[in-house]
Chains A and B, each alone.
Chain A
Amino acid sequence: MLEIRDLYAAVDGKTILKGITLTVNPGEVHAIMGPNGSGKSTLANILAGREGYRVESGSITWFGRDLTALPPEERAREGIFLAFQYPVEIPGVSNLYFLKAALNARRKHRGEPELDAMDFLALVKGKMADVGMDEAFLYRAVNEGFSGGEKKRNEILQMAVLEPTLAILDETDSGLDIDALKAVAAGVNRLRAPDRSIVLVTHYQRLLDHVVPDQVHVLAQGRIVKSGGRELALELEQRGYGWIEQEVAHEPLL
């Protein structure tokens, strides 16, 4: 459903992604690993359509359509969800209100009736229980004053409510204690379905102990330099990224 072909992309005029090709089929879980600064977040932001991130060449197709032609809110309503590496605070706007607006925007886009307050509350409370979040968070402002772990759980809650077709998690596992990590992993596993796909951007392989990926890709200097099964993640864990970067350095660049 998602096909990225020879993608070059720039952030604020600087080319960061240098020829990425990646196909994600329905039901698959892909892990994208790589050292800091290799372009993982750039790829995530490009897929979500963030301003300032520009495709220079190559293509991204979404169910056969040119994804780059869609504004970010349309992509979201089409079922692309990005769990942010740094979730944003919105003072004065309750989590409940925000989530309901988001879900109803998606439902409206799909021609489904919008949920009223009661139905939405019932739905979201169930999801909160799944994620292990206290209901009090519904009435707090979006991410305001949340701890790092609470913010990440909140991203997973949003994902659970919105039930995306493609979920991209940008280092959602970073900085979490083991309980929070398990909650995130359980949230991802609950989402897994034959018609849904997940892209896990991660630094560490420990998340992959709980969410088993179909494919692992290593990103370095804006390119996918190695792909493999989950054993690749284990190898990375043991050997670090240094050897890969060296391998890349020996390859002629195009």
Chain B
Amino acid sequence: MSDSVQQVEQLVGQEYRWGFVSPVEADTVPKGLDEDVIRLISAKKQEPDFLLQWRLDAYRHWLGLAEPHWSSAHYAPIDYQDIIYYSAPKTQDRPKSLDEVDPELLRTYDKLGIPLKEQELLAGVAVDAVFDSVSVATTFKAQLKKLGIIFCSFSEAVREHPDLVRQYLGSVVPPGDNFFATLNSAVFSDGSFVYVPKGVRCPMELSTYFRINARATGQFERTLIVADEGATVSYLEGCTAPMRDEHQLHAAVVELVALEGATIKYSTVQNWYPGDKEGKGGIYNFVTKRGDCRGANSKISWTQVETGSAITWKYPSVILRGDNSVGEFYSVALANHFQQADTGTKMVHIGRNTRSTILSKGISAGHGSNAYRGLVKVLKSAHGARNYTQCDSLLMGDRCAAHTFPVIEVKNPAAGVEHEASTSKIGEDQLFYCKQRGIAEEDAVSMIVNGFCKEVFKELPMEFAVEAQKLLQVSLEGAIG
């Protein structure tokens, strides 16, 4: 317990050092979306003309698209004219102290061992705390800079490195890719940008963990990570603590580019507000994540632990273009109460001897519904391609559901594709066995669930793995019995 408190504190400490606080704009654009709103967003961000044009093209394309309804999720129609597409963080209607925050949320923070200061930030309390680690931030930035690594907010990248942004933006997820990605392209607010130059191995995990200004960028986030030839980088996204957020719709885009011999590891812990026990409220998380193994011998690995949001649609994918490139997808998705999780991946094999591994662990509890949707596509060019897919579902109780929709398209006869699937229930016999050894029921449940997820957790960076385990435990409280 105290170990992980320490770890959280360390992480929090790290984050402050990274000091990404974007300038606070005071004003807000009116509700609704038209070309003027987009021009306004772009102007406020002082963007170069190419980006404004890019946004406008996306918007015009979006007007001709229909909202998709192919997933198994059920939700009320979204009124896109009822959304504010650009707003500075609100300060006036934020809670003034933790006393005004939902006690349920505070209880969760306590269980996760989150220090008070951090609780205030996460709960959106209007604190004017000054994080006085400027010198540390400088050291950290200097260290990255010496290696030529760029790690900054997306807006900053647009200002400071417009050529890199122009070269790679939309090169993995084109602006017209799908309804939500297109909307994001038109109106994206901010996000992160990473560039690791040739042959450089990034010496630390890059993280947006507890990023102080995350609230402001939340709704239409845009992330772009480029690993140049022979570069290596590990990026952590998310936060185990449930964040307060007034936006219901989140439509983020993440693009990864791995050039020859490069490796990108992208880990996510997502725990946005899932709605209450009756299924009211909660965030819709419709995100497009895709990686492009553009060069030979490159590798992209997605690892995710999804416990939050009311509805999640998320299919981190890898395009295996370069010969011998490797794509991996490791996922734990939990759906409790009335949550609906529809996640999976796409592995598109184009280059020779490309390999992909998919390991998906879905946990359903309460009235939760969990779907795995996967596509393994092997093109004619992909001689010697290999895929291994394993999808396991764990059911807790008998009101929840698990579905798997694996699609396999193989155009190259020499490719090897293997698929394994299992569905199991947390057994009365397993629980009794644990209890007969003196282990309390809640501990037994979390032990069994963590055991089920172990192969995925071991892909997470150490400190994330510890947090993820605790997160599952908290998310599953009361799921049995």
Residues of A within 8 A of B (CB): 48, 50-52, 71-73, 75-77, 81-82, 84, 87-93, 97-98, 101-102, 105-106, 109, 141, 158, 162
Contact = CB atoms under 8 A, between A and B. Distances in A.
A90 B437 contact: no
B437 A162 contact: yes
8 contacts: A52-B428, A73-B441, A75-B436, A84-B433, A88-B427, A89-B430, A92-B450, A93-B447
B438 A93 contact: no
Contacts of A82: 436
Given A73-B435, A88-B427, A102-B439, 8 more contacts: A73-B436, A76-B435, A90-B447, A90-B451, A92-B450, A101-B437, A105-B440, A105-B443
Given A88-B427, A91-B452, A76 B447 contact: no
Nearest to B455: A92
Interface residues on B, range: 20 to 34
Nearest to B433: A88
Contacts of B437: 76, 98, 101-102, 105, 158, 162
Nearest to A71: B435
A93 B450 contact: yes
Contact of A72 (B429, B436, B452, B455): B436
B439 A88 contact: no
Given A90-B448, A93-B451, A141-B451, A105 B427 contact: no
Interface string B411-451: 00000000000000001111011111111110100011011
A90 B455 CA distance: 14
B150 to A, nearest CB: 39
List the 8 closest pairs (A to B, CB-CB), nearest first. A92-B451, A102-B437, A105-B438, A93-B451, A92-B454, A76-B438, A88-B433, A73-B435
B181 interface: no
B399 to A, nearest CB: 19
A158 B437 CA distance: 9
Given A93-B450, A93-B451, A141-B451, A101 B443 contact: yes
Given A76-B438, A105-B438, A51 B433 contact: no
A109 B437 CA distance: 12
Q: Which secondary structure characterizes the binding site on chain B?
A: helix
A102 B433 contact: no
B451 A91 contact: yes
Contacts of B430: 88-90
Nearest to A74: B438
B438 A73 contact: yes
Contacts of A89: 430
A75 B435 CA distance: 9
A87 B433 CA distance: 8
Contacts of B453: 92
Most chain B beta-carbon neighbours within 10 Å: one of A76, A90, A92: A92
B369 to A, nearest CB: 23
A160 B451 CA distance: 24
Contact of A101 (B433, B439, B455): B439
Nearest to B453: A92
Contacts of A105: 437-440, 443
Contacts of A50: 432, 436
A82 B438 CA distance: 11
Nearest to B437: A102
A91 to B, nearest CB: 6
Contacts of A93: 447-448, 450-451, 454
Contacts of B427: 88
A88 B438 contact: no
A82 B437 CA distance: 8
Contacts of A77: 438
Contacts of B435: 71-73, 76
A48 B433 contact: no
Most chain A beta-carbon neighbours within 10 Å: one of B436, B443, B448, B455: B436
Given A72-B432, A90-B433, A109 B438 contact: yes
Contacts of B448: 90, 93
Interface in B157-192: none
Given A92-B452, A93-B447, A141-B451, A51 B428 contact: yes
Contacts of A109: 438
A89 B448 CA distance: 10
Contacts of B441: 73
Contacts of A48: 432, 436
A99 to B, nearest CB: 8
Contacts of A84: 433, 436
Contacts of A91: 451-452
A45 to B, nearest CB: 9
A71 B431 CA distance: 13
A162 B437 CA distance: 8
Contacts of B452: 91-92
A69 to B, nearest CB: 16
B440 A73 contact: yes
Nearest to A73: B435
Nearest to A102: B437
Nearest to A75: B436
Interface string B446-481: 011011111100000000000000000000000000
A97 B448 CA distance: 12
Contacts of B443: 101, 105
A105 B437 CA distance: 8
A48 B432 CA distance: 9
A106 B429 contact: no
A144 to B, nearest CB: 9
Contacts of A76: 435-438
